[in-house]
Amino acid sequence: MSADTWRKISIAVAVHVAFVAVWWLAVILADVPEFILPTPWLALQTLGEENYNWVRHFSITAQEIFGGYILAVVVGVTFAVLTTWSRRLDEMLTPLLVTLNMIPKVAMAPLFIVWLRFGIQTNIVITFTICFFPILLNTARGLREVEPELLDLVKSLHGNRWQVFTKIQLPGALPYVFSGMKVATVLAVAGAIVGEFIQSDGGLGWFMLITQEALNTDAMVMALMLVTLIGVLLYGSVILLERIFVVQDARVE
């Protein structure tokens, strides 16, 4: 890695450490009661509490986030390809998808519980519905953004539609797929947690509701940090995949 990369990484780490330090200092200096905001150290100590079942809750929430997210990527990209491939399908599906996108996804949750019953699968579906649209819309935009002269080039060689698709459209859309995927990471985390608020018997969102009743703010804060960690892991994996598969110059910020 270049010196510049290391510089950027060290700045990022330093800023995070500073953030925690400010939090810590603020709590001590202002003498904030523990049940309002614990110090980072107090929150961290709750990890030693076996009754809290951290591993179980962490794993449930991670499954919901990653499960719903991956499902959204697969289905979103597939739908984008279908609507781009067939004009008729585009004319039929796109207006419907625009309407469906207007449905507040979280408001679907009570229905999903009726349809899919109580459990982790329902939260996966809630996460999926919330992540699906940005991925679909971005991918479809990328697939359509083809230089007309490039099409001329292929046509002058009597190339077929499949060649245009596999050699130009699909690889050209990849940066847009990642752009949609990056937007969807934030939504995935929110979707899973809200899902847990509405229905669940486990997961970090559920755990926050339970610990709130006992005013165990330190455990709540710890749960929040773990949810954020899952989000960061998801975002990090997307960035990593983008670095592997998308040439620097083609990336969409």
Partner 1 sequence: MSEAFISLKDVRKVYRTRTEEFEAIQSITMDVQAGELVSIVGPSGCGKSTLLKILAGLHPHDGGDVRIGSAAEPFDPSRDIGMVFQQPLLLKWRRIRENVLLPAEILGLPKKEARERADDLLQMVGLAGFEQSYPYELSGGMQQRAAIARALVHDPKLILMDEPFGALDALTRERMNIELLRIWQESQKTILFVTHGIQEAVFLGSHVAVMTSGPARLAEHMEIDLPEDRDLAIKTDEKFGEYTRHIYKLLDLD
170: Cα separation from own chain's centroid? 22
Least Å from the CB of residue 134 to partner 1: 22
Distance separating the N- and C-terminal Cα atoms of the chain? 21
- Specify the residue, 81 or 106, whose C-beta has the smaller distance to partner 1: 81
| Under 8 Å between Cβ of 189 and 231 | yes
- Specify the residue, 166 or 212, whose C-beta has the smaller distance to partner 1: 166
Side-chain half-sphere CA neighbours of 226 within 13 A = 26
- Specify the residue, 174 or 223, whose C-beta has the smaller distance to partner 1: 174
Least Å from the CB of residue 173 to partner 1: 11
Q: Which amino acid is at 72?
A: A
Query: DSSP per residue over 89-143, as a string?
Result: HHHHHHHHHHHHHHS-GGGGHHHHHHHH-SSHHHHHHHHHHHHHHHHHHHHHHHH
- Which positions lie near partner 1, rule CB under 8 A? 147, 149-150, 152-159, 163, 167-168, 171-172, 174, 246-250
- Specify the residue, 126 or 246, whose C-beta has the smaller distance to partner 1: 246
Least Å from the CB of residue 174 to partner 1: 7
Least Å from the CB of residue 158 to partner 1: 4
